[in-house]
């Protein structure tokens, strides 16, 4: 005879997986933790209110509640993010703070894809996360979203095209650190020419200062404008300041790597999106100090 698993035991066993779902849905680790805690409360309530105290499959039940609560939270946050000062970017998380199984599968975990996923409707985002990051088939996702399998397959296909994801590609490996290391060296030595040469001519930089620190209020398009951004940092004598020169180093975030740029008494975190040829196609700069609290290597 198999003993029934309690709601609390099931939730504890599934917590890291649920956190991985919620974070990919929300791009905010704090909100993801809140959602997963709410799932725990609802699971206990479900157990108490069920006459037999039995749920056929706690993992399936917990996943369904987590996804639906995440969808509700996405809709709630949409209005808040519309009023955000400047571009909104996801909150980065130190690799050491992420559950091991979350880091092991980086699918849809990078800041780049978390940011791009903001373009998707909440249910489409949920379908893509469950399929790409957790390998769930369309019929299972359909039951969670109360859709037909055909509708789910269509949502996934459209989302992959929107985010330019190859549906047949394996989960991405950690970024090659060579591009970041080269960028670090160029920044610390004040070699603007090297930085410019690394940028694709159509590169884009998004900067999230949240109104807390000086930052670009709109995306910067093109290598020339991005070069002027770096020149503004490196050209204000900070590089030559023996007291506090510009410093740069690589840290581990979101299962991959990013660059810390320390200047003018503040830290910026930049995730670099490099193309197959090694040129930098996109940069996402996190400067809002409220979003850097989960990083331990900023000084």
pLDDT for the residue 12: 92
pLDDT for the residue 176: 63
Q: Do the beta carbons of residue 213 and residue 185 sit within 8 Å?
A: no
pLDDT for the residue 39: 96
CATH number of 177-291: 3.10.450.50
pLDDT for the residue 174: 46
58 backbone φψ class: left, alpha, beta (φ>0; ψ -120 to 50): alpha
pLDDT for the residue 263: 82
Specify the DSSP element, H or E, that contains 193. Answer: helix 192-198
CATH number of 7-162: 1.20.140
Nearest to 31 by CA among 86, 64, 80: 80
CA dihedral of 180, 134, 61, 56, whole degrees rounded to 10: -150
pLDDT for the residue 238: 45
Domain boundary assignment for the chain = 7-162, 177-291
pTM: 0.88
Q: What pLDDT tens digit does each residue of the chain (299 aa) get?
A: 344 678 899 999 999 999 999 999 999 999 999 999 999 999 998 888 865 557 788 999 999 999 999 999 999 998 888 889 999 999 999 988 887 765 556 678 889 889 999 999 999 999 999 998 888 999 999 999 999 999 999 999 999 999 887 766 555 444 467 888 888 888 878 788 888 899 999 999 999 999 998 888 999 999 989 988 877 766 654 444 555 677 889 999 988 889 998 887 889 999 998 887 888 999 999 999 999 999 988 87
Instruction: State phi, psi for 188 to the nearest 5 degrees.
Output: -65, -30
pLDDT for the residue 293: 92
């Amino acid at each position: 005879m198999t003993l029934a698993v309690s709601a609390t035991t099931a939730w504890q066993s599934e917590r890291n997986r649920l956190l991985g779902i919620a974070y990919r849905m929300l791009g905010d680790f704090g909100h993801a933790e809140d959602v997963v805690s709410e799932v725990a409360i609802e699971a206990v309530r479900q157990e108490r209110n069920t006459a037999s105290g039995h749920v056929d499959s706690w993992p399936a039940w917990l996943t369904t509640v987590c996804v639906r609560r995440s969808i509700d939270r996405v809709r709630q946050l949409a209005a808040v993010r519309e009023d955000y000062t400047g571009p909104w970017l996801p909150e980065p998380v130190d690799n050491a703070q992420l559950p091991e199984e979350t880091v092991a599968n980086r699918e849809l975990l990078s800041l780049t894809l978390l940011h791009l996923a903001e373009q998707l409707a909440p249910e489409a985002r949920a379908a893509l996360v469950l399929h790409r990051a957790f390998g769930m088939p369309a019929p299972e996702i359909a039951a969670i979203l109360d859709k037909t399998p055909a509708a789910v397959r269509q949502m996934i296909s459209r989302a992959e095209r929107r985010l330019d994801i190859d549906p047949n590609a394996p989960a991405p490996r950690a970024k090659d650190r060579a591009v970041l290391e080269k960028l670090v060296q160029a920044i610390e030595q004040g070699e603007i020419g090297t930085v410019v040469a690394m940028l694709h001519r159509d590169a884009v930089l998004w900067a999230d200062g949240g109104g807390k620190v000086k930052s670009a209020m709109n995306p910067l398009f093109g290598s020339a404008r991005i070069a002027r951004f770096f020149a503004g940092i490196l050209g204000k004598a900070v590089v030559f300041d023996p007291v506090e020169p510009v410093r740069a180093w690589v840290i581990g975030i979101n299962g991959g790597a990013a660059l810390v740029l320390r200047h003018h008494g503040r830290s910026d975190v930049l995730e670099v999106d490099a193309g197959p040829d090694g040129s930098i196609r996109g940069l996402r700069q996190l400067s809002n100090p409220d979003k850097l609290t989960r990083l331990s290597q900023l000084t």
